[in-house]
Structure 1
Amino acid sequence: MNTKRFYTTLILTLILSCFALSAQSDKQKKLEKQRQQIIKEMKQINALLFTKKKEEKSAITLIEDLNYKVNVRKNLIRITNEQANLLTREINNNQKEITSLRTQLQELKDDYAAMVVKSYKSKSEQSKVMFLLSSDNFQQAYKRLQYIKQYRAYQKEQGEAIKTKTKELQDRNIQLSKQKEDKKKLIEENRIAKRELEGELKQREVLMASIKSDMGKFAAQIKKKKQEADRLDKEINRLIKEAIAASNKKAGNKSSTGKFVLTPEAKKLASNFEANKGKLGWPVSRGVIKAKFGKGRSLTDSSVEVNNPGIKIATEKGAVVKAVFDGEVSQILVIKRGNPAIMIRHGDYLTIYTNLSKIFVKKGDKVKTGEMIGEVFTNKIKGETLLGLRIYKNNKMLNPESWLTKF
């Protein structure tokens, strides 16, 4: 066996294996983090939406809650499947590596055994001395002496290589056993999740059947809800334009630029707000995002497309609303046939808290992060407590979910 070539091949194999394992390990960690986040969300959903008596909620709200839960459950199953599939690939790769390692280990042992036999046959010091003395000249004797030293070193290297390769093989076997156990656990958890999903889908079918005769009434409720949302959107857009125009006028600009004109203090506040993206505290102590930002499907009717300007957080009755960051109360919005809202300015950023029952602040108040500013409205007919949260930069809508820290 060519020692140099063998060790070069061995090193390259180890490096490539490490890179592949590292990439797979990183992906597995990322998937596991997502899975744990969804499991946490499922616990919050059960605690906030499914602990009350069904009689306290309208059928339409129950359907919305079930659809939301079903969507989250499906996402959990999908992530778990991805993890199981990735583990299958890792297990197959590991089994191939183990087969290769066993072959390499056997080659090392065979090579080492041959050297031991050869060394035994020429083990006497007299043989080594005669080998040196039979040299034709000093240079040849020197080369033969170096050869003896190199041969001894090579024997030692082969012995160490056998130890290393044996340890690597043992580690791979341990890793393989763990991977198989992890996969078994994931498959079992997915089996349970699928059973839960089947039960939820049947429950939804029963609910849908119970409201079939009242679909006209529910369609009217959905239409009314959309009209209220449109009025709120219109009023918020108007107030944002007014606030921007006022900041321009105060700065001496005759025509509005469509952006807030900032003082040095406001610039610093906006910069700090921006630096906290993904780290802002939640506006309620407990909650789950029942309606996500942007385009999506209605939780009541999946054939209906909705476009949310913010997020809706399902929380508990009597939940207190807290400011997510330092700022100044820019407006208290009072909507006709709707619930009040609070607009807080953070430089050229705005946070808007909608569907409130109580207001604890007034226009012009300076608020601190985590300060209580109001209370969420609970709809007694629907049996739900939903807080709306919007974030704007100037008049541009942003996704609040990407600004909040993970629960």
Structure 2
Amino acid sequence: MRTLVLSVILLFSTLSVFAQTNQIKELEKKRKLALREIENTTLLLDQTKKSTSTLLNRISMLSEQINSRQQVISLLGQEINAITKQQTITEGEIKDLEIKLKDQQKSYAKAMESVVLKKQGMNKLLFILSGKSLSESLRRMKYLKDYSDWRNQQIIDIREKQETLREKRESLQKSKADKLALLSSREIEQSNLQKEEETHKKEVDDAGKKQKELQDILSTKQKQADNLNAQIEKLIAQEVARQEREARRLAKEKARREAAAKRKAEAEAKRKAASEKSTATTTKPETKTESRTEPDKDTSVPEVEEVSTSTKVVVTKENFALSSNFAANKGKLPVPVTGTYSIVGRFGTHQHSKFRVTTNNGGIDIQAKAGAQARAVFGGEVTRVVAFPGYNNCIIVRHGGYYTFYGNIQQISVKQGQKVTAGQALGQIYTDSDTGSSQLHFQLWQGTTKLNPEPWLKR
């Protein structure tokens, strides 16, 4: 009974350790991701020259870096706690195994002692032959064989428990070493966090000293952003209207084809009825009737089509498929830049109370490495390639009822009307030679409704 209880306890302990191990691996994965984001931001900060025009971006990147560093420290704490729990479980397993092994060794030693005493009084052959009948001798032979098998199995079980015990002890030692390493890493990360917070404070103080310049920069950028948003809204409205006109044309063409087919069917029915009447009348000479039907029209034009005026999105077979697939990939779309990146401007209205300026961002601004490419986040068609003041070349890609906008591109790699695939390069992002800053402005629209792109991207 005691052995059974110990076996059950050992089973539950093993399952608990397995769960803890998976948790530790998941925490380690998240920590490495946060550390990679810190490395990316550090690289972009080093690449961006310190100037008044880049000061706010640098502050934003430092804030991202601090948030990532705090996340790393938090994850390290969770890993340490998970390892501590794992150690407690492993120590309990070792204790149970030691008890179980000790009991089994005692049982085996006692059995061996009994065998030795019996051997002194009688050998195996005499024991078998001394049976009162043949069947009893055969039972004694089987008993001796079963007993020998039991002894061999006991030896195997004891050796397996000894090996398991050795592995558990090694695992415990390794987890202790891992815990010490994590504690050391946490101290280093806390020191890095303190330095970054000091740097951030210094940059903010510098921004305070240059309040007038920054206020002018923010005001200028907001005017450019307002103009851009108005132009994008106009372009997308035009594109949606163009699709609606095309849908109406296709709908009219479909209605015309259906009406022609109906007229043809009616004429054919009349001709057939007249023919049957002529055949049935024997007193009158047979007369031939001829009905004129309009020639068949080309029916190769694709079907659809329905226009949804409430959402201003054209519902076609192609659009429906693209829109459905696009919506299904929310949170899975690739970031629209290649290589290292950091989001330095977020969607929505932001109050800069220190500079008495309110900014409204219609999308997100992504700091990238010099030479990085803007890339399509999903398959679609390039509907516009235009230039806007402050945003260089810009591209709009249609994905059914959704649109993505890519601004501040230096060298265009696609043309209007071209089909693109997810991840395809659209052009090289513009790099300011004075500041070293390479930023892509990215927007997402559903029909004529502006959306926050960030939740749609895979991070």
Tell me the TM-score range normalised by the shorter chain.
Answer: 0.7 to 0.9
Identity percentage over the alignment? 28
Report how far residue 22 of structure 1 moved.
2.2
* Equivalence map 1:127-146=2 (5 Å): none
Equivalent-residue separation in structure 2 for 1:381 and 1:132 (angstroms) = 102
> For residues 189 and 377 of structure 1, what CA distance do their matches in structure 2 show?
38
SS at 1:342 equivalent? strand
User: Alignment partner of 1:331: what SS?
Assistant: strand
* AA partner of residue 54 (structure 1): K
Partner deviation per Cα, 1:251-306 (whole Å, 9 max, x = no partner): 334651526445445555556657777765543332323248668988998xx999
What is residue 41 of structure 1 aligned with on the other side?
A: 37
Match of 1:163 among 130, 153, 159: 159
Is 2:73 the counterpart of 1:20? no
Q: Which deviates further from its counterpart, 252-261 or 154-163?
A: 252-261
Separation (CA, whole Å) in 2 of partners of 1:215 and 1:281: 37
| Aligned: 1:343 with 2:390 | no
SS at match of 2:122: helix
The secondary structure found in structure 2 opposite 1:364 is coil
Structure 1 residues 156 and 226 mapped into 2: Cα distance closer, same or farther (>3 Å)? farther
Amino acid at match of 1:256: T
Unaligned runs of 5+ in 1: none
Q: 2:60 aligns with which of 59, 64, 81?
A: 64
Which residue in 1 is equivalent to 2:192? Answer: 196
Find the aligned partners of 2:133 and 2:100 in 1 and give their Cα distance: 40
Deviation (angstroms), 1:90: 1.0
How far apart are 1:208 and its partner, in Å? 2.6
In the TM superposition, residue 114 of structure 1 has moved relative to its aligned partner by 1.0
Q: Structure 1 residue 18: deviation in Å?
A: 3.2
TM-score under structure 2 length normalisation: 0.71
- Structure 2 residue 79 is the aligned partner of structure 1 residue 83: yes
Structure 1 residues 320 and 361, CA gap change in structure 2 (3 angstroms):
same
RMSD: 4.0
Instruction: Tell me which residue corresponds to 1:250.
Output: 246
Distance in 2 of aligned mates of 1:337 and 1:59:
18
Q: SS of the counterpart of 2:119?
A: coil
Q: Contact 1:61–1:383 at 8 Å: present in 2 too? A: no
Matches for 1:8-407 after TM superposition, within 5 Å:
8-9=4-5, 11-55=7-51, 58-123=54-119, 126=122, 147-215=143-211, 218=214, 221-222=217-218, 225=221, 228-229=224-225, 232-233=228-229, 235-237=231-233, 239-252=235-248, 253=306, 256-258=309-311, 260-266=313-319, 269=322, 281-291=334-344, 310-332=363-385, 341-357=394-410, 359-378=412-431, 384-392=437-445, 394=447, 395=449, 397=451, 399-400=453-454, 403-404=457-458
The one-character-per-residue Cα deviations of 1:3-32 (angstroms, maximum 9, x if unpaired) are xx72x4455344323322222222222112
CA distance in 2, matches of 1:258, 1:29: 45
SS at match of 1:54: coil
Per the TM alignment, residue 201 of structure 1 is displaced from its structure 2 partner at its CA by 1.2
Distance 1:365 1:162, change over 3 A: same
Quote the Cα distance in structure 1 between the aligned partners of 2:352 and 2:136: 89
CA 364–154 in structure 1, closer or farther in 2 if over 3 Å, else same: same
TM-score (norm 1): 0.79
Q: Is the Cα contact below 8 Å between 2:351 and 2:358 reproduced in 1?
A: yes
Change beyond 3 A, Cα 1:200–1:9 = same
TM-fit CA distance, 1:117: 0.7
Letter in 2 for 1:71: N
Instruction: Give the superposition deviation at 1:315.
Output: 1.0
Measured in 1, the distance between the counterparts of 2:388 and 2:53 equals 25
How many angstroms does 1:62 deviate by?
2.8
- Larger deviation: 234-243 or 194-203? 234-243
Once residues 351 and 154 of structure 2 are traced to their aligned partners in structure 1, the CA distance between those partners, rounded to angstroms, is 68
Instruction: Kindly state the Cα deviation for residue 169 of structure 1 after the two structures are TM-superposed.
Output: 0.6
Structure 1 30/363 Cα, relative in aligned 2: closer, same or farther at 3 Å?
Answer: same
Instruction: Find the aligned partners of 1:114 and 1:296 in 2 and give their Cα distance.
Output: 82
- Counterpart AA for 1:388: H
Residue 172 (structure 1) shift = 0.8
Following superposition, the deviation at residue 331 of structure 1 comes to: 3.0
| Structure 1 pair 20–148 and aligned structure 2 pair: CA distance change class (3 A) | same
Letter in 2 for 1:354: G
Cα deviation for residue 194 of structure 1 reads 1.2
Moved more, 198-207 or 243-252: 243-252
Q: Is the 8 A contact 1:245 1:256 kept in 2?
A: no
CA distance in 2, matches of 1:265, 1:168: 61
Distance 2:328 2:207 in 1: 48
Q: Relative to structure 1, is the Cα distance of residues 177 and 268 closer, same or farther in structure 2, using a 3 angstrom cutoff?
A: same
Structure 1 residue 181: deviation in Å?
1.7
Query: For residues 340 and 377 of structure 2, what CA distance do their matches in structure 1 show?
Result: 14
Q: Which amino acid aligns with 1:34?
A: K
- The number of aligned residues is 399
Contact residue 349 and residue 358 of structure 2 kept, 8 A: yes
**C-alpha distance in 2 between matches for 1:221 and 1:139:** 107
Rg larger in 1 or in 2? 2
